[in-house]
Amino acid sequence: MDEEGNRRPDEDRLDETRLRAAFAGRALGRSLRLYESVGSTQNEARSWAVAGAPHGALVIAEEQRSGRGRMGRAWHSPKGKGLWLSMVLRTGLTLEQAPHLTFVTAVAVCRAIRQATGTDARLKWPNDVLIGGRKVAGILVELQTDGPRVQSMIVGIGISVNLEASDFPEELNPKATSLLEAAGERFDRTELAAKVVQSVEEMVGFYLKEGFPPVASLWEALSDTLGNPVSVATALGNVAGTALRLDESGALVVRTDDGQERRLYSGDLSTLPKDEAEGLLPRS
């Protein structure tokens, strides 16, 4: 802080020395590249993976000029305000198992945020972390394959940490938030990065040992989706109903108003207002 109590620019920077110390002895983050600015941490991590990056190789950037989320959407990633990172995972998973990593990572990130901030962070299917119904973090998992074999998975995590309302584009303000806005205080991004990566490493280890069902139970316990009337835009059209549970693959099971259960493997989900949800919720 300066004499007037304002934060100096260097206090808002990620501290590479502290990060390397936090990741020493761990599988994730031991190989680290910290950039001032990149197009996308996903692209940097993918290029590194192609060049032979080891399991756990981690790319973090102060800024992404063209960050992206699921379904090719842009991800707002201003300089010095958030955590924009991607990691290379080589876990030996099959193509059928690979979708589980979205939920493994989402649980890990949500738990880390709750622990670090005390906020009631929740999960929206399939890959968002919400606080107060507004998006604060997202996960993107992309595969590198060789025929039926998964060579590596690139796991991207974006967390809006110290963004103020004025930092968001106007169209995002109603549906996006930051840890600063939600908790009313600024957070040490270096410390949070260490907690997030540690949480991901622990949850990946838990999944590899115990399988997907206990991870799905953890996801469901943190869910802001299940039990609610939802509409999911899929490649085959909209599906409206009540979100019930995850199945063994991570698909969302939705009961439509005719009583059928539909399994949705991808799509853009929104929660329906009460006046649009009549007939979808179970009657008492």
Q: What is the CATH number of the domain that holds 74?
A: 3.30.930.10
pLDDT on residue 276: 56
Decide if 132 contacts 177 (C-beta within 8 A): yes
From 221, 242, 266, the end of a domain falls on: 221
Question: In terms of domains, do 92 and 119 share one?
Answer: yes
Residues 150 and 260 grouped into a single domain: no
Amino acid identity of residue 160, one-letter, is S
Q: Is 2 part of any domain?
A: no
Q: Are residues 252 and 134 in the same domain?
A: no
Identify whether residues 98 and 239 lie together within a single domain. Answer: no
Structural domains counted in the chain: 2
Please report the pLDDT score of residue 42 as a whole number: 95
The predicted structure's pLDDT at residue 170: 78
Give me the amino acid identity at 92.
Answer: G
Token pair recorded at residue 107: 């649980």
Tell me the pLDDT tens digit for each residue of 155-183: 999 999 999 988 888 777 788 999 999 99
Return the pLDDT at 281.
Answer: 52
Q: Where among 200, 221, 242 does a domain terminate?
A: 221
Q: Judge if 239 and 214 occupy the same domain.
A: no
* pLDDT at res. 274: 54
Give 72-75's long-range contacts (Cβ < 8 A, gap of 24+). Answer: 75/138, 75/158
**Where among 221, 242, 259 does a domain terminate?**
221
What pLDDT, on the 0 to 100 scale, is given for residue 147? 78
The confidence score (pLDDT) of residue 171 equals: 78
Residues of the chain with pLDDT under 70: 1-11, 66-76, 273-284
Domain of residue 47: give its range: 9-221
Structural domain includes residue 1: no
With respect to residue 237, please indicate whether it lies within any of the assigned structural domains: yes
